Structure 1
């Protein structure tokens, strides 16, 4: 019993570290898809702050969907697959508040016009 407890105690940090790596990999792939979609559908809007707001306000299932979109093939295919999820997240009040803080007036109007009205 004592050996089992010791093995469990030693394995737990490895599981936690593996989970952290998986989460970071998923977020990185998701960010790549959001960046690609933003570059395609939001010309003139700085990609990094926009992507930060979307990634920070996406659910786990949305992050996974975005990470899958990152492997869709060409940049156009990635953008097309990611954009519906990006729009959904960007329309949330928390994401909108983040965008207001992150983008200038003209950039925000460009982002809002496409997110709310288009594509």
Structure 2
């Protein structure tokens, strides 16, 4: 089976979204322009931000972490970096998670599976 490595999000303004993600991830895009931006994350995956044509569909991107403490620390870090927190950290059946929103309404779920 072929692995999926990259995540592409349709956004209203790639430059605005690139500034948001650069602040959130504390890294610069490897490519940025008026119609697209591209980040290569520490995992090796790429996050592409492409200018959408018309109404865009909202997506959810998951960020798995190791341990519930990492989720709580990420929440504090993302809050400090200006992320809009949609759902605060909470314990659920599979583990602990929180959800943030990006400028285009995409949901960013940070989670750790319970040990």
If the length of structure 1 is used for normalisation, what is the TM-score?
0.28
Q: Which structure has the highest strand share of the two?
A: 2
Greater relative contact order (Cα < 8 A, sep 6+): 1
Q: Which structure has the highest helix share of the two?
A: 1
If the length of structure 2 is used for normalisation, what is the TM-score?
0.28
